[in-house]
Amino acid sequence: MNLHNLFAKGPSVPEIYLSEVPEDYQQTEVQYVDVREPNEWNEARMPGSVLIPLGALAARVGELDMSKPVVTVCRSGRRSIDGGQILLSAGFADVVSLRGGLIAWSQAGRPLVR
């Protein structure tokens, strides 16, 4: 048995800090994909982000533009790393996860849709 295969997590997803997301982030070609559940999305979300829950992401990658960069977002930054791995495995070349997720976003006073 090859233990290395049991612990392989797939492609590594880099993280970006909130300070790297410009204030005018909605004016860029970047796709912001929220991988939380619909009930979380309905409570609060980044303006301009699109909801594709983590459990549905692999089946719905076709809804995203592979030629544009993607930032995955969740509540704290953990599920978004898993979402980024799914996208990298599906062939997306430019994927990062927002470190700290919506918790960091909200604490920094960035706008939320409620």
Active-site hit among 74, 86, 98, 102: 74
Contact call for residues 55 and 38 (beta carbons, < 8 A): no
C-alpha distance from residue 43 to each of 15, 46, 57 (Å): 24, 11, 20
Residues in CB range of 69: below 8 A, 6 or more apart: 29, 30, 31, 94, 95, 96
Partners of residue 73 on adjacent β-strands: 34
Identify whether 89 is a catalytic site residue.
no
Any idea which residues carry the catalytic annotation? 74
